[in-house]
Amino acid sequence: MARRLLLGNEALAFGAYAAGVSVATGYPGTPSTEILERFARFPNVYAEWSPNEKVALEVGMGASLAGARTMVTMKHVGLNVAADPFFAAAYMGVVGGLVIVSADDPGMHSSQGEQDNRNYARFAKVPILEPSDSQECMDMVALGLEISETFDTPVLLRTTGRISHAQSLVDVDPQRLEARASARRVVTAFPHNPEKYVMLPGNARQRRVAVEERLCRLRDYAETTPVNAIQWGERRLGIVSSSMAYQYAREVFPHASFLKLGMAYPFPGRLVLEFARQVETLVIVEELDPFLEEHIRALPGFPSMPVVGKSVFPSIGEFSSELLARCAREHGLVSEPDVVELNRGPSAAAAEAAKPVPAAEVILPPRAPVLCPGCGHRATFDALRRLLLECQADLVTPPGPEHSPYERGILDRRRRYRVVVNGDIGCYTLGALQPLNAIDTCSCMGASIGHALGMEKAGIKNKTVAVIGDSTFFHSGITGLVDVIISGAATTVIILDNGTTAMTGGNTNPGSGRAVDGRPARRVDLETLCRALGVQDVQVLDAFDCAGIEREIRRALYSDEPTVLIMRFKCRVQERTTSLMVSRVEADRCQSCWACLTLACPALARREGRVEVVPSLCVDCQVCNMVCPHDAIRRVEREGVAA
Amino acid sequence: MKPLNFVLVGVGGQGILLASDILCHVGVAVGYDVKKTDVHGMAQRGGSVISHVRMADRVAAPVVPLGAADFLLAFEKLEACRWVSYLGGAGVAVVNDEAIPTLALAAPRRGIPYPDDSSLIQLLRSRARQLAMMPAGRLALELGNARVTNLVLLGALSHFLDIPIPVWQAVIEERVPARFRELNRRAFEAGRSAGIVSLRGQGPSGTMD
């Protein structure tokens, strides 16, 4: 047995592989991405990045019905997309074990919403497993597959960002992995059973009953499974907890008794009652929704005793040890010394200081994520920002004394003319931040096209665009474009095609011509696809050609036909090339109008009232050269480059 | 074993994750239970980045509580200040004396200026029992590649830890691609010497050039 430091996500991949999973699918999304990336590197498996989570789960269900042990991975909001097959899978059951991994994102480090996917377990009536470190990730995939096959049910395995993206030690058995690598794929046959697998209303009514009966059996299992266990300590406080919240609670209440729930649904009510009856105060520590708390408070025969949960700990945001300690102290659950012991620092007040802000009086400038230097999204957002189109003057802030003459000019024009930009999910959502400030809406994957169409149909003529990345378009933008065609709209759709799914770390997508394991794959051609849907005006543009982009968007906006503009480039993160040239600001020409600074390029710095290019960051994309109204930024040879 | 908490901070893309990986494996090699966590995704696009590393006989949560870090290893000095409240009273800050400017904005909404050196150092001193400001980026460049700044900083950090040097060397050997091994080994040694200088030169709260 070898001890290895593994990310929770890596441990899920190892666990799945060791337990014999031979088919794994998913769609990349932080914090879930590394599970499938790691799994795809094992021999003797099939792994794919599917076009979206719904397809991923449908492929996974097919593999399971054919007898393969299967894992499907996605981020929390991905399960919204896959909800339809998820509910269907609950009715149909499985043949080979089926584990669906949902990685939630408390604190929304990299998500548009904060949702607690434990609710999906209750909603779809399937069991849920929640690991609290990497070892449990490894073990619970195997357990999930066993539960899945024993009870004929899909199993939801829920992590959070801090489980998925924390490393801890895991026992890995190299011999088992080796045996798995040389094991032959089991050839299976699909067991014909229309009553179970054809969900016509008549069959579904039978399965509806089977689902409830299964829940009863699963509830009995949850009462006795070793992943739901009492750890006795002092009886004054009894902590009920799960997932990462359990680890924080372990630090804040080191002497208390614990009921750790690795399988919280179906809810093990008898076990909780047994625990509650033997402690003075029951403390429920869970991130996000009061899922455990609602179940506990609804338990029949629950003793009359103090119970605290969301009255003490917040239901919004990510937990931390110091947050739990503060809440517990304020409500008299722990005494001051405990907290000092936890922090090992002299001052509990310091621990309360807001997260990144230091106690002294220096005000620190923020450092928000930005588009990389040389990113091909920049020129498009700059063009959109400049577009001068009539509408909605009252929605735009009037220029004030805090604006420079250049900005005042732009804002003045925008009050009269303003295009509405419907953005989507990806790196390019950063185009919404200052100073690019070029996105008006962003809701969920693929929504930009529908939003633009809806605005157009509500009466905003020729002034709305949708901006969507290539991967997001494949994910769920295509159907929006179908609607544009059949509704007779004249929507302008801009597809930012960088050939990859960049924000999650450069994953392959249907347009990149590679599979998740790096092997060549067939690719879907964006232009052909859009034309086949009925868009006649499809243009492919150089993503760095500022003038051409502005001209084409303007033309498209005034056109009565639907238009797709594909801005094509290679993502800088994927293809790092070093140009022999860099941009340089000619000091005698620079008028300090700051037009270039509205590009939000990290390679542009201010020094003594002038703009300077930082040569180590500049990649010679030349967008600032084109944007400068005074022709003050020019290309020069890079110094000190070994050819 | 004495529990140790580290936070490694800087700007996305500076090689922080490799540094915290190496640190974790060094901890494992000397028998610690180790956990680490960092944020992936959105925060890596040039944003502020923090990586937590914890070592003890048994670690529960991977996140270092505020005010509980023994060491702050900063790849950039503004980021050192941003996260300095993670340091405990007896904490040591090892800081790369390098400024990466924040996004420049148009006048007059130019935002908050990058603070001057004296206020940054004053702030760090007010929180760190010992502060080692070192030109890690410059040392790395002199060795031939700015990307080994992370190994220079680890070398400096190693000076404050009671862990045998061969353990570090073995982990570096294992975690770094073969063709960069020699460079990384030299970067680690350069950082370690610089760390020794910082102690000998100044005493508590000393800074070094």
Q: What is the pLDDT of residues A329-356, one digit of tens each?
A: 999 998 865 544 544 443 434 444 433 4
- Over range A354-370, report the average pLDDT: 69
Give the per-residue pLDDT at B108.
Answer: 57
Of A128, A120, A101, A147, nearest to A266 by C-alpha is A128
Say which DSSP state A638 is in.
P
* SS3 state of residue A94: coil
**Is the pLDDT confidence value at B153 over 50?**
yes
Please count the other Cβ atoms lying within 10 Å of the Cβ belonging to residue A36. Answer: 30
Dist. CA A73–CA A88, nearest whole Å: 17
Chain B CB within 8 Å of residue A135 CB: no
What does the buried/exposed string (b/e) look like for B69-93 if buried means 16 or more CB atoms within 10 Å of the residue's CB? bbbbbbbbbbbbbbbbbbbbeebbb
Distance of CA A426 to the CA centre of its chain: 10
**Is the pLDDT confidence value at A397 over 70?**
no
Separation in Å, CA B61 to CA A12, A268, B8: 19, 25, 17
* Partners of residue A606 on adjacent β-strands: A611
Higher pLDDT, A346 or B12: B12
Q: Give, in words, the CATH class of A581-637.
A: alpha beta
* SS3 state of residue A24: strand
- Over range A295-319, report the average pLDDT: 96
- Over range B19-27, report the average pLDDT: 96
Dist. CA A351–CA A348, nearest whole Å: 5
Give the list of residues 6+ apart from residue A221 with CB closer than 8 angstroms, or none.
A147, A151, A263
* Partners of residue A611 on adjacent β-strands: A606
Give the list of residues 6+ apart from residue B197 with CB closer than 8 angstroms, or none.
B208
Chain B CB within 8 Å of residue A597 CB: yes
Do A582 and A640 meet the contact criterion of CB atoms below 8 Å apart? no
Listing DSSP states for A55-85 in one string gives: HHHHHHHHHHHTT--EEEEEEHHHHHHTHHH
Dist. CA B107–CA A590, nearest whole Å: 14
Give the per-residue pLDDT at B109.
Answer: 61
Give the per-residue pLDDT at A345.
Answer: 40
pLDDT band at A578; cut points 50, 70, 90: confident
Dist. CA A229–CA A162, nearest whole Å: 22
Do A480 and A449 meet the contact criterion of CB atoms below 8 Å apart? yes
Chain B CB within 8 Å of residue A316 CB: no
Give the per-residue pLDDT at B14.
Answer: 87
**Is the pLDDT confidence value at A389 over 60?**
no
Quote the minimal CA–CA distance from A317 to chain B in Å.
Answer: 15
Give the best residue of A165, A367, A377 to mutate against chain B (max B CB count within 10 A). A367
Please count the other Cβ atoms lying within 10 Å of the Cβ belonging to residue B182. Answer: 10
pLDDT band at A393; cut points 50, 70, 90: very low
- Over range A548-570, report the average pLDDT: 94
Do A467 and A450 meet the contact criterion of CB atoms below 8 Å apart? no
Give the per-residue pLDDT at A643.
Answer: 39
One-letter amino acid for residue B151 of the chain: L
Residue corresponding to tokens 């005010």: B67
Do A40 and A517 meet the contact criterion of CB atoms below 8 Å apart? yes
Chain B CB within 8 Å of residue A355 CB: yes
* Half-sphere exposure (Cβ direction) of A408: Cα atoms closer than 13 Å: 10
Higher pLDDT, A24 or A341: A24
* Partners of residue A71 on adjacent β-strands: A24, A99
**Is the pLDDT confidence value at A61 over 90?**
yes
Say which DSSP state A598 is in.
G
Closest partner residue to A430 (CB to CB) among B45, B83, B126 is B45
For residue A367, list chain B residues with Cβ-Cβ distance below 8 A.
11, 46-48, 78-79, 82, 102-103
pLDDT band at A414; cut points 50, 70, 90: low
Of A430, A423, A465, nearest to A447 by C-alpha is A423
Which phi and psi (to 5°) does residue A426 adopt? Answer: 165, -170
Cα torsion for A176, A177, A178, A184, to the nearest 10°? 90
Do A513 and A459 meet the contact criterion of CB atoms below 8 Å apart? no
pLDDT band at A357; cut points 50, 70, 90: very low
**What whole-number percentage of chain B has pLDDT above 70?**
89
- Over range A63-82, report the average pLDDT: 97
- Relative to beta strand A281-285, strand A234-241 is parallel
For residue A611, list chain B residues with Cβ-Cβ distance below 8 A.
104
Give the list of residues 6+ apart from residue A395 with CB closer than 8 angstroms, or none.
A418
Q: Tokens for A198?
A: 């054809």
Closest partner residue to A369 (CB to CB) among B24, B43, B127 is B43
> Under CATH, domain B4-101+116-202 is a member of which superfamily?
Pyruvate-ferredoxin oxidoreductase, PFOR, domain III (3.40.920.10)
For residue A355, list chain B residues with Cβ-Cβ distance below 8 A.
66
Instruction: Please state the domain extents for chain A.
Output: 2-222, 225-352, 378-568, 581-637
**Is the pLDDT confidence value at A85 over 80?**
yes
Domain A225-352 in CATH 1.25.40.10: no
What does the buried/exposed string (b/e) look like for A299-314 if buried means 16 or more CB atoms within 10 Å of the residue's CB? eeebeeeebbbeebbe
**What whole-number percentage of chain A has pLDDT above 70?**
91
pLDDT band at A63; cut points 50, 70, 90: very high
Quote the minimal CA–CA distance from A17 to chain B in Å.
Answer: 23
**Is the pLDDT confidence value at B206 over 60?**
no
Residue corresponding to tokens 């230097």: A373
Chain B CB within 8 Å of residue A89 CB: no
Q: How many CB pairs under 8 A join A and B?
A: 205
Q: What is the pLDDT of residues A236-277, one digit of tens each?
A: 999 999 999 999 999 999 999 999 999 999 999 999 999 999
Q: What is the pLDDT of residues A120-142, one digit of tens each?
A: 999 999 999 999 999 999 999 99
Chain A CB within 8 Å of residue B119 CB: yes
For residue A250, list chain B residues with Cβ-Cβ distance below 8 A.
60-61
Quote the minimal CA–CA distance from A606 to chain B in Å.
Answer: 6
Dist. CA B153–CA B146, nearest whole Å: 12
- Over range B60-67, report the average pLDDT: 95
One-letter amino acid for residue A279 of the chain: V
Look over chain A and give the mean of its residue pLDDT values, rounded to a whole number.
Answer: 90
For residue B114, list chain A residues with Cβ-Cβ distance below 8 A.
365
**Is the pLDDT confidence value at B200 over 60?**
no
pLDDT band at B47; cut points 50, 70, 90: confident
Dist. CA A332–CA B58, nearest whole Å: 27
Cα dihedral sign, A629-A631-A637-A640: negative
Nearest CA in chain B to A110: B42
Give yes or no on whether A2-222 and A225-352 have one common fold. Answer: yes
**Is the pLDDT confidence value at A416 over 70?**
no
Instruction: Average the pLDDT over each of A358-367, A496-505, A632-641 and give the range with the smallest value.
Output: A358-367
Of A283, A272, A173, A280, nearest to A229 by C-alpha is A272
Closest partner residue to A358 (CB to CB) among B11, B24, B84 is B84
Of A276, A344, A343, A287, nearest to A316 by C-alpha is A287
Q: What is the pLDDT of residues B66-84, one digit of tens each?
A: 999 999 999 999 999 999 9
Q: Tokens for A472?
A: 């997001």
Chain A CB within 8 Å of residue B142 CB: no
Stretch 501-560 of chain A: residues touching chain B, C-beta under 8 Å: 503-505
CB contact under 8 A, A427 and B44: no
Chain A CB within 8 Å of residue B178 CB: no
For residue B35, list chain A residues with Cβ-Cβ distance below 8 A.
133, 166-168
Cα torsion for A231, A232, A237, A242, to the nearest 10°? 0
Stretch 433-472 of chain A: residues touching chain B, C-beta under 8 Å: 434-435
Residue corresponding to tokens 């000095």: B77
Closest partner residue to A367 (CB to CB) among B28, B41, B102 is B102
**Is the pLDDT confidence value at B63 over 70?**
yes
**Is the pLDDT confidence value at B142 over 90?**
yes
Stretch 265-294 of chain A: residues touching chain B, C-beta under 8 Å: none
Quote the minimal CA–CA distance from A70 to chain B in Å.
Answer: 26
CB contact under 8 A, B39 and A109: yes
H or E, element range at B156: helix B149-158
Dist. CA B115–CA A364, nearest whole Å: 7
Question: With 0-12 CB in 10 A as exposed, 13-18 as middle and 19+ as buried, what is A357?
Answer: middle
Give the per-residue pLDDT at B44.
Answer: 64
Chain A CB within 8 Å of residue B112 CB: yes
| Cis amide leading into A435 (omega within 30) | yes
Q: Which CATH architecture has domain A2-222?
A: 3-Layer(aba) Sandwich (3.40)
**Is the pLDDT confidence value at B203 over 60?**
no
Do A487 and A562 meet the contact criterion of CB atoms below 8 Å apart? no
**Is the pLDDT confidence value at A542 over 90?**
yes
For chain A, the straight-line distance linking the first and the last C-alpha, in angstroms and rounded, comes to 49
Nearest CA in chain A to B46: A369
For A378-568, CATH gives: 3.40.50.970
Give the per-residue pLDDT at A419.
Answer: 82
Do A16 and A24 meet the contact criterion of CB atoms below 8 Å apart? yes
One-letter amino acid for residue A299 of the chain: L
Instruction: Please state the domain extents for chain B.
Output: 4-101+116-202
Do A112 and A118 meet the contact criterion of CB atoms below 8 Å apart? no
Residue corresponding to tokens 């091994």: B181
Dist. CA B11–CA B20, nearest whole Å: 14
Chain A CB within 8 Å of residue B42 CB: yes
Closest partner residue to A5 (CB to CB) among B28, B47, B111 is B28
Dist. CA A88–CA A212, nearest whole Å: 14
CB contact under 8 A, B68 and A344: yes
Give the per-residue pLDDT at B198.
Answer: 61
Listing DSSP states for A372-425 in one string gives: PTT-TTHHHHHHHHH---B--GGGSPPP-TTS-HHHHHHHHHHHHB--EEE--S
pLDDT band at B12; cut points 50, 70, 90: confident
* Partners of residue B54 on adjacent β-strands: B5, B35
Dist. CA A552–CA A384, nearest whole Å: 11
Give the per-residue pLDDT at A361.
Answer: 73
For residue A169, list chain B residues with Cβ-Cβ distance below 8 A.
28, 33-34
**Is the pLDDT confidence value at A390 over 50?**
no
